[in-house]
Chains A and B, each alone.
Chain A
């Protein structure tokens, strides 16, 4: 066994060396270690980059570079007229990978789909507790309440029965947690007494086969030559785990990796002027905001909120906090998302008018708290600094600000309280490219005392998003969301601050890389030219 793996390893090394002339191995300098390789168990983007994108497929997929949902392992799907059942027609002839301890005896079929979801949703399923499964994303997307049952109609037809019509369901099926794992492999590993191998030595249907992982150092993949879709352009994919951004940049310059994630914003200018480096950029699917507690006076008055919004110099925040790697947000959803209402005018930056508006509403000598997160997030690289800038802005209109902060866990839990004092800095990164994932989660009535930090519940807005949620087509839903954004702007439960800009840095020989708005780093379509 050992000899065998040594031989195999030697052969790979030889293949890689021999192949270097035709540039066969793509090296990606990633920012951290994946938590594991079964995407349903985890929530981190770093984990999804290493698991769901190279190794697995889903029933539906996001077209790379867009939030458009396209067929994946399901060739087509049909939603019943009442919206309560969704039937997927599965692709035939799809092969699972094999490894040292497993060779599939059958192609992908309905059993794998049922297994992949049942283990997450059914507490009695033998795999429900394997690898300490908490199925955060499945729960987070309200799937347990949404999915009543999953039925196998035949080997290549699966029917999901829902408890209510839900338009974003199809997009949910393209999310990482919905990756399809092999039921046959899981059973084999369960029988061998090592069910956790499903997570540690993953088997999927994706464009790359998992080869090896050394924690905090390197992950290796080989091209899946039996891939059902367009095969990957490189023979091998290697993740060189490199936590420090400056070091990643050095590695790209030295040719030790081809592509790197998350450059330092401060390095972008230099990178752009470097001829040996290509920098790509796109707006991230996220939003950073300041949420007022709309249940507490004086913030229960939309005019007061509006006045405060007008006092914030957003451009200064973009320049100082984002160092240019961000853009001003005027809507609660990012511009790359469908139904983004571009006709909305942002609140002007006008301290004088803001001051007058506050006086009109009888608000004088206001003392407010601004909560600043203790951690760096994609939508807010430095909340403390942002809060300080707002403190200065608000001082100009006679509002005294006290900045408060807690440890991250405390921050998240205390900020949910209905009687939370003042306004809070937070943000959101989209999961499935659906506006519902922003507007309902962050501003819907059900989200109060949880993800709706403004504690905002506004009947006309709520009606629109509830109606849009159950309409079947994007064309019917989009106008409702556009209108909802108008109401949002009038009512101003938040000051929308910024959408970050995501940068990718790579060497010029990298060919075909596309920045994905959902944030993943995807390499099946990437090649290397000489």
Chain B
């Protein structure tokens, strides 16, 4: 197992190098000069332009710029944002917990509903339940997030007033953000009702962000289950009179989980990087909006640093998924 883990870890290095280079190159390939964008309609004199070019180090050859960036990265320095002038590292860690909290909740929501839905659909293949669940999944998968979010807000926050419109917690609560995870911080604050308020604020964004992964997981679980249910050993299990619940829940599901775990792993990556719309609508202070804003402003350090951090996290998630394969299926780790 250790060897398996080690070999997975080794593939990390070239990927990391590649990502560093690509994230550095990506933003520079886009047209648009950050200094000109910063000056806006006002414009600036040639001398001033020259001065700023030197200040930002754009006058250096590109390989020197890359080398400076790369050695910075190795020392844990991602540079300072052109716009806010603050370290990219600090900004990332101020915002990332919000994204992580929302993504985890969305994932839990998707898995808790998606797995049983997939299993039920597979077991009832071709029947009403199957059709109903899978058409709902298709609708969920095709739903434009923006529209879906506004619909939920108008119905549940506007008309019914069950949930708050946006934000992470009611503004009357105020406590220092020790961990950045609102659920934990609100509990730790000991303020009455704070935790509940945080939970209520999480509800709609969780549903919105979890809808697509939910649909994907349900469909994936169904097809993996169907495949496994046709295997000989399942027939054997049935023949020897095992209870259907035990066959489906233990023998079939465990083997069907491999492709499902892959999908979950991939979805986590998408969630972390792709929560931008959900974050924007629900005024959720995460990294999605931060990244998109920085691309428009040509804020090189934020774009390259943010991309790198997201890539590293996705790589870590994939590593975890690889290790999980080994746990689920002993055959894989012995290969």
Q: In this assembly, does B176 line the interface, its C-beta being within 8 Å of a C-beta of chain A?
A: yes
Contacts of A406 in B (CB 8 A): 31
Q: Which residues of A from 371 to 412 have beta carbons under 8 Å from B? A: 406-410, 412
Give the distance in Å from the alpha carbon of A242 to the alpha carbon of B34 in the complex: 26
Q: Give a binary string over A141-159; 1 marks a CB under 8 Å from any B CB, 0 the rest.
A: 0000000000000000000
Give the distance in Å from the alpha carbon of A6 to the alpha carbon of B186 in the complex: 12
Q: In this assembly, does B36 line the interface, its C-beta being within 8 Å of a C-beta of chain A?
A: yes
Given known pairs A200-B86, A254-B165, the reply for A408 and B91 (CB within 8 Å) is: no
Stretch at the interface among A180-188, A216-224, A331-339: A216-224
Q: Which residues of A contact B (CB under 8 A)?
A: 2, 5-6, 9-10, 12-13, 16-17, 20, 25, 27, 35-36, 41, 43, 131-134, 136, 139-140, 196, 199-200, 212, 214-218, 220, 238, 240-244, 246-247, 250-251, 253-254, 256, 406-410, 412-413, 416, 426-429, 441, 450-451
Q: Please tell me if the beta carbons of A412 and B175 are within 8 angstroms of each other in the complex.
A: no
Q: Please tell me if the beta carbons of B37 and A27 are within 8 angstroms of each other in the complex.
A: no
Given known pairs A36-B86, A215-B94, the reply for A27 and B40 (CB within 8 Å) is: no
Enumerate 24 A-B pairs (CB-CB under 8 Å) in ascending A order. A6-B189, A9-B189, A12-B174, A16-B172, A36-B85, A36-B86, A41-B85, A132-B82, A136-B38, A196-B86, A215-B95, A215-B285, A215-B290, A216-B286, A220-B174, A241-B285, A250-B154, A250-B158, A256-B166, A256-B171, A407-B31, A408-B32, A409-B37, A450-B43
Given known pairs A41-B85, A132-B85, A139-B48, the reply for A218 and B39 (CB within 8 Å) is: no
Stretch at the interface among B65-73, B266-274, B275-283: B275-283
Give the distance in Å from the alpha carbon of A242 to the alpha carbon of B282 in the complex: 8
Give the distance in Å from the alpha carbon of A97 to the alpha carbon of B282 in the complex: 33
Contacts of B82 in A (CB 8 A): 132
Q: Please tell me if the beta carbons of B167 and A217 are within 8 angstroms of each other in the complex.
A: yes
Residue of A nearest to B150 (CB): A246
Q: In this assembly, does B329 line the interface, its C-beta being within 8 Å of a C-beta of chain A?
A: no
Of the candidates A240, A407, A410, A427, which one forms a contact with B283 in the assembled complex, judged by CB atoms under 8 Å apart?
A240
Of the candidates A43, A134, A200, which one forms a contact with B55 in the assembled complex, judged by CB atoms under 8 Å apart?
A134
Residue of B nearest to A452 (CB): B43
Residue of B nearest to A216 (CB): B285
Minimum C-beta distance from A31 to chain B (A): 10
Central interface residue in A240, A406, A413, A429, by most chain B CB within 10 Å: A413
Q: Please tell me if the beta carbons of A410 and B32 are within 8 angstroms of each other in the complex.
A: yes
Q: In this assembly, does B219 line the interface, its C-beta being within 8 Å of a C-beta of chain A?
A: no
Give the distance in Å from the alpha carbon of A17 to the alpha carbon of B173 in the complex: 9
Of the candidates A36, A238, A242, A412, which one forms a contact with B39 in the assembled complex, judged by CB atoms under 8 Å apart?
A412
Q: Please tell me if the beta carbons of A136 and B168 are within 8 angstroms of each other in the complex.
A: no
- 11 extra interface residue pairs, beta carbon distance < 8 Å, beyond A139-B44, A250-B154: A13-B174, A43-B42, A140-B42, A216-B95, A218-B167, A240-B167, A242-B167, A254-B157, A407-B30, A416-B43, A441-B42
Minimum C-beta distance from B20 to chain A (A): 23
Q: In this assembly, does B161 line the interface, its C-beta being within 8 Å of a C-beta of chain A?
A: yes
Q: Which residues of B contact A (CB under 8 A)?
A: 30-34, 36-45, 48, 52, 55, 80, 82-86, 91, 94-95, 98, 150, 153-154, 157-158, 161, 164-168, 171-178, 189, 191, 280-286, 289-290, 296, 298
Residue of A nearest to B194 (CB): A13
Contacts of A2 in B (CB 8 A): 176, 178
Of the candidates A216, A218, A244, which one forms a contact with B171 in the assembled complex, judged by CB atoms under 8 Å apart?
A218
Minimum C-beta distance from B150 to chain A (A): 6
Query: What 8 pairs between A and B have smallest CB-CB spacing?
Result: A409-B32, A216-B285, A217-B285, A132-B85, A409-B37, A450-B43, A131-B85, A242-B283
Give the distance in Å from the alpha carbon of A406 to the alpha carbon of B36 in the complex: 13
Of the candidates A20, A251, A426, which one forms a contact with B172 in the assembled complex, judged by CB atoms under 8 Å apart?
A20
Q: Please tell me if the beta carbons of B175 and A6 are within 8 angstroms of each other in the complex.
A: yes
Q: Please tell me if the beta carbons of A215 and B165 are within 8 angstroms of each other in the complex.
A: no
Residue of B nearest to A253 (CB): B158
Given known pairs A132-B85, A243-B280, A409-B32, the reply for A215 and B40 (CB within 8 Å) is: no
Minimum C-beta distance from A397 to chain B (A): 29
Residue of A nearest to B164 (CB): A256
Q: Please tell me if the beta carbons of A214 and B43 are within 8 angstroms of each other in the complex.
A: no
Minimum C-beta distance from A430 to chain B (A): 11
Contacts of A220 in B (CB 8 A): 174
Minimum C-beta distance from A522 to chain B (A): 20
Given known pairs A6-B189, A27-B171, A217-B168, the reply for A35 and B83 (CB within 8 Å) is: yes
Give the distance in Å from the alpha carbon of A212 to the alpha carbon of B177 in the complex: 11
Give the distance in Å from the alpha carbon of A35 to the alpha carbon of B168 in the complex: 21
Q: Please tell me if the beta carbons of B285 and A451 are within 8 angstroms of each other in the complex.
A: no
Contacts of B40 in A (CB 8 A): 43, 412
Q: Please tell me if the beta carbons of B191 and A10 are within 8 angstroms of each other in the complex.
A: yes
Q: Please tell me if the beta carbons of A216 and B289 are within 8 angstroms of each other in the complex.
A: yes
Give the distance in Å from the alpha carbon of A406 to the alpha carbon of B266 in the complex: 35
Contacts of A412 in B (CB 8 A): 36-37, 39-41, 43
Residue of A nearest to B52 (CB): A134
Contacts of A407 in B (CB 8 A): 30-32
Contacts of A35 in B (CB 8 A): 83-85
Contacts of A247 in B (CB 8 A): 150, 153, 165-166, 281-283
Q: Please tell me if the beta carbons of B281 and A13 are within 8 angstroms of each other in the complex.
A: no
Q: Please tell me if the beta carbons of B39 and A136 are within 8 angstroms of each other in the complex.
A: yes
Contacts of A215 in B (CB 8 A): 91, 94-95, 285, 290
Contacts of B154 in A (CB 8 A): 250
Residue of A nearest to B166 (CB): A247
Minimum C-beta distance from A30 to chain B (A): 10
Give the distance in Å from the alpha carbon of A133 to the alpha carbon of B52 in the complex: 10
Q: Please tell me if the beta carbons of B174 and A196 are within 8 angstroms of each other in the complex.
A: no
Give the distance in Å from the alpha carbon of A246 to the alpha carbon of B280 in the complex: 11
Give the distance in Å from the alpha carbon of A102 to the alpha carbon of B329 in the complex: 60
Q: Please tell me if the beta carbons of B36 and A409 are within 8 angstroms of each other in the complex.
A: yes
Give the distance in Å from the alpha carbon of A199 to the alpha carbon of B39 in the complex: 20
Minimum C-beta distance from B214 to chain A (A): 23
Minimum C-beta distance from A426 to chain B (A): 6
Residue of A nearest to B91 (CB): A215
Minimum C-beta distance from B250 to chain A (A): 44
Q: Please tell me if the beta carbons of B157 and A250 are within 8 angstroms of each other in the complex.
A: yes
Give the distance in Å from the alpha carbon of A199 to the alpha carbon of B175 in the complex: 22
Q: Please tell me if the beta carbons of B165 and A256 are within 8 angstroms of each other in the complex.
A: yes
Residue of B nearest to A239 (CB): B171
Contacts of A242 in B (CB 8 A): 166-167, 283
Contacts of B86 in A (CB 8 A): 36, 196, 200
Residue of B nearest to A141 (CB): B42
Given known pairs A247-B153, A253-B158, the reply for A13 and B191 (CB within 8 Å) is: yes
Give the distance in Å from the alpha carbon of A253 to the alpha carbon of B164 in the complex: 11
Residue of A nearest to B48 (CB): A139
Of the candidates A20, A41, A196, A256, which one forms a contact with B167 in the assembled complex, judged by CB atoms under 8 Å apart?
A256
Minimum C-beta distance from A190 to chain B (A): 16
Give the distance in Å from the alpha carbon of A426 to the alpha carbon of B157 in the complex: 39
Central interface residue in B43, B95, B168, B296, by most chain A CB within 10 Å: B43
